[in-house]
Amino acid sequence: MRFHFKTSYDHDIRLFPDWWNFSAYGALLLAMVSLPLLLDSFFLSEVTNVMIWAVAGLGLMLLTGQTGQISLGHSAFMALGCYTCAILMNAGVPFLLAFPLAGIITGVVGALIAVPALRLHGVYLAIATLALAIITEDIIVILRQWTGGVNGMLAPDIVLFGVEVNRYVNPEYWYYMVLAIVIIVTLIYRNLLRSPLGRAFAAVRDSEVSAQAMGINVARTKTIAFGLSCAITGLGGALMGLFAGAFNNETFTFLIAIQLLMMIVVGGMGFIHGAFLGAIVIAFLPQGLSIVTDSFRWMSVPGLEFGVFGAILIFFIVFEPMGLYGRWLKIRTWFELFPFARRDMFRRQKSYLKTERVR
């Protein structure tokens, strides 16, 4: 077992707790960099798709996992980020400028929408955001002079430093571009959690009444969280649309928002690792089901994919609310404490105040 003796506040918020963690993540980065040398183009594209889902999942994780606000409408902000990036690039703006601008614009729009929406709590906020996701398809059709309507848009070509990035011609370039974006977004996310604003997010998540008593402006904190969440999710949507090559009003349906929520629940609510573990499940499960149904014709049932997704979500909610990463933490802790681990050491505790039970 490794012990961390913290002698200052800086030790408590440092990026890597010790050299072991630093070495482990360094080894993981080297493995990811060398992955194009080990995989063919198909599997490399699948790994790229996993990382794109992880970026979008990190956005929802910031809002739901860190701030405790449930949203079923983040597919709308994925669509906004995608179309904004494509429109800017078609207007002649280079990708290196259009991509972050798409995230910023999506974040600003998300913050403006959050001002009235975040007056709601719990299931009412979820219903309001779900309505936003549903009407997004109609908005895309109405704005067909910019979005292409039902005909959709073709993803513009990406040129970085004079080199064209195409998933079919040079998939390794796409992979390295997405890997760099994932690293940047993850570092921003991790440093945000170490800041006073990140601590305010956690305080609002655990108890709004206690956070308000500590002097935190709850409304402003939730609005900032919603805006930052939409910005990151918009970046994921931009990558998803550009990676697909074409998109229309049926690309970012509310089912995408359901998959995002399932992803962070299955991966582990409130953990950065949970977004990546959930993205692996979301990205590879359809491929696995396709292989199984091709092998066993009798399993070719309409709607099988969504049925399996729903069964997995119910299983984790009932038996493992902390997700895959939470299960890994329990297994690691059990081995670290063996033979002194107790059966009820991971029993769930109530984390709300009596004054908040009626919300």
pLDDT tens by residue, 121-171: 778 888 888 889 889 988 999 998 888 888 888 989 898 888 888 888 888
User: Is residue 294 scored above 70 in pLDDT?
Assistant: yes
Average pLDDT, the chain: 86
The top-scoring range by mean pLDDT among 144-148, 174-178, 212-216 is 174-178
Instruction: Judge whether 54 and 276 are in contact, CB under 8 Å.
Output: yes
Whether residue 113 has pLDDT greater than 70: yes
What residue ranges define each of the domains in the chain, with the CATH number in brackets?
Answer: 40-347 (1.10.3470)
Instruction: Say how far apart CA 147 and CA 157 lie, in whole Å.
Output: 17
> From residue 284, how far is each of 98, 230, 306 by CA, in Å?
30, 25, 14
The mean pLDDT value for 198-217 works out to: 90
pTM for this one?
Answer: 0.89
| DSSP summary character for residue 214 | T
The closest of 242, 245, 244, 248 to 144, measured between CA atoms, is 248
For residue 179, pLDDT beyond 90? yes
Residue 297 confidence class, pLDDT cut points 50, 70, 90: low
Residue recorded with tokens 């491929």: 287
Average pLDDT over residues 197-209: 90
In the chain, % of residues over pLDDT 70: 90
What's the pLDDT score for residue 183? 95
Lowest mean per-residue pLDDT among 10-24, 26-40, 232-246, 318-332: 10-24
Q: Which residues contact 179 (CB under 8 A, 6 or more apart)?
A: 32, 33, 51
Q: Work out the percent of the chain whose per-residue pLDDT is above 90.
A: 39
CA-to-CA distance for 52 and 58, rounded, in angstroms? Answer: 10
Give pLDDT, residue 343.
Answer: 65
Under 8 Å CB-to-CB from 210, ≥6 apart: which residues? 203, 353
Q: Which two tokens stand for residue 37?
A: 């040398």
Would you say residue 112 has pLDDT above 60? yes
Residue range 260-288, pLDDT digits in tens: 988 999 998 888 999 999 999 888 888 77
| Model confidence band, residue 345 (pLDDT cutoffs 50, 70, 90) | low
Higher-pLDDT residue of 254 and 299 is 254
